[in-house]
Structure 1
Amino acid sequence: MRAIRLLTTITMLILAGCAGLQSDRVRFDGLSGCPRQTAAMLAAQQSQYGPLSDTHTLECALTVLRDSQDLALRRTSLGSRLSLHLAEREANPDRREKLAAEGVSLAEAALAQGADDDAAVHYYLAANLGLAVREHITLAMDNLGRLEGAMKRAQALNPDIDHGGPLRLLGALYLKAPAWPSGIGDLDKALELLEKAVREHPAHPLNHLFYAQALWHEGDEASLSQAKAEFALGEKLLAEGMWGYSKESWKKEFAEFQQELENDL
């Protein structure tokens, strides 16, 4: 089987009990220009915050949530989702890790307050955690199980979040993780989950990219041909879709895998 790089947006490794994650919050500029918002307003509008939202809007919303003592709001996945969107578009590595680490903390707080049945909380916990530690792999080798557990919990509760996000992330985890006995890597599981993500959520470009990587990893000619087709479809969906601020970082992932495909010829 081929060796394959780690995805830039996901790592299969996490820190035990989140030890070692950044603890300082990122300070935002320009907050004087934020609209007047209450916790109730934020809760009512939370579905509006996503990759199409500008950075200032997300920063204002996260600031309100940080200062809020509203337990109903803090029990939701909103804080961890805001943190993830901000972290993914942050160019400074230190600020990116701090934002992702805050997303982990907010998700853990939501779980502690009774959100265990909320699939989104588990999903954004895993996504933030992967982003927070992606530059610190050596610190995380003993903790594959926790990330797997968060993703499996999200999948069991609602596999359709974020266009099949739990299927996509769990499939990528099984693809990238070391195989038994040192890890939980399993190419068959990866292919099954990622094929399901593509079948049930065909509009999301990363589903096709991740499935293409799994097929490429399989190594035979038929799989390579299918991998190229999935890659081409994912590229088309990325170019034509409204993916907001996520588009640039995803373009880099496609470009990096395209180089691997070309090197394989």
Structure 2
Amino acid sequence: MRRPRAALPFALLGCALALASCAPALRGPEAGPTLAADLGVAGSAGDPTTVDGLLGAAEASWARRPDVGAVREAARLFGRAALADEGGVAGLLGYARAVAWRIEREGDAKERERLATASVRAGERCLGRSPGNPACEYALAIALGQQARERPATALDGLKEMVAALERAIAGDERQDLGGPHRVLALVQLRAPGWPSGPGDPDAGLEEARKAEALFPEHPPNVLALGEALEKTGDPDGAREAYRRASALASRLASGGDPDAAEWLEEARRVLSRPGS
């Protein structure tokens, strides 16, 4: 189950009000410790014979979500695959995906901060191995957003870098993660403060949400993002219809065994249960 969490704009405002204490969000892919230290995993580097087996086992563990232990094991195995395949990005991308999932369900603040930093490092390493790779850009963008929330000192720089990474991800492959780059950019623009403090722009967020929904209209997160965008741009009736459609789509997917659908359904029902919805 997702834990309640602070909204990203509060992190950004806290950083903006104390600008002198703000920290850079990125370190650079080649700076700092080893990959094993960055990811917090142990394994042997340069043994590609193990990569396929590690990736297969990691995907099998990932498929068992919402079992937290299984996702933790998936992250560990993806990390080991990243170590074993020194030139590939599949392990790093899988690691970032699993860690992002864990962060949203971790109750300990220090552990969330550690995981967020590790996820950013994975994204940087991914781009170091495959410069301009749109999947790496997308993974880094998500990690930067989570780090901005968990380490508010990075928020001012982090949101700027996040938006830039999302724009590059859109240019490279807007269809990845079922329209994910458009969807995530929409949520940033809907929830962050506006200029000059941040990238918030509800009208731009609505445009991005519409693009995600147009690409994959049956994907509940896209419809949920569209509902939020319509609500924040003054169309409560359109928002209500979008939330109802997201609920119906998520319910159908949950009946079919989709491991993420229950959370999408819960979110849609929560919004629809608010007074006036």
The Cα shift of 1:85 comes to 3.1
Unaligned 5+ segments in structure 2 are 16-22, 28-36, 43-48
Q: 1:163 aligns with which of 165, 169, 178?
A: 178
The Cα shift of 1:107 comes to 1.2
CA distance change for structure 1 residues 71 and 138 in 2, over 3 Å: closer, same or farther? closer
The Cα shift of 1:239 comes to 2.4
Aligned to 1:17: 25
Give the TM-score, by structure 2 length. Answer: 0.72
The answer on whether the counterparts of 2:119 and 2:140 sit within 8 Å (CA) in structure 1 is yes
For 1:1-265, list aligned pairs within 5 A. 11=8, 16-18=24-26, 38-42=50-54, 50=62, 52-53=64-65, 54-55=70-71, 57-65=73-81, 67-68=83-84, 70-73=86-89, 77-113=93-129, 115-137=130-152, 139-219=154-234, 223-241=235-253, 242-244=257-259, 246-247=260-261, 249-250=263-264, 253-254=267-268, 257-258=271-272, 261-262=274-275, 264=276
The Cα shift of 1:117 comes to 2.7
Aligned to 1:32: none
The answer on whether the counterparts of 1:65 and 1:79 sit within 8 Å (CA) in structure 2 is no
Give the TM-score, by structure 1 length. Answer: 0.74
The answer on whether the counterparts of 1:144 and 1:184 sit within 8 Å (CA) in structure 2 is yes
Cα RMSD, aligned residues only: 3.5
CA distance in 2, matches of 1:252, 1:138: 32
CA distance in 2, matches of 1:209, 1:9: 19
CA distance change for structure 1 residues 198 and 123 in 2, over 3 Å: closer, same or farther? same
Unaligned 5+ segments in structure 1 are 1-6, 29-36
Deviations 1:113-165 (A, max 9, x none): 2x223211111111122223324446523543211101111111001111110
Which protein, 1 or 2, shows the higher relative CO under an 8 Å CA cutoff with sep ≥ 6?
1
CA distance change for structure 1 residues 137 and 63 in 2, over 3 Å: closer, same or farther? closer
The Cα shift of 1:224 comes to 0.7
Q: Percent identity between the aligned chains?
A: 26
Give 1 or 2: higher helix fraction. Answer: 2
CA distance in 2, matches of 1:239, 1:210: 17
CA distance in 1, matches of 2:5, 2:120: 18
Q: Secondary structure at the match of 1:133?
A: helix
Deviations 1:57-84 (A, max 9, x none): 4144135236436222478523322322
The Cα shift of 1:98 comes to 2.1
CA distance in 1, matches of 2:271, 2:209: 16
Q: Secondary structure at the match of 2:122?
A: helix
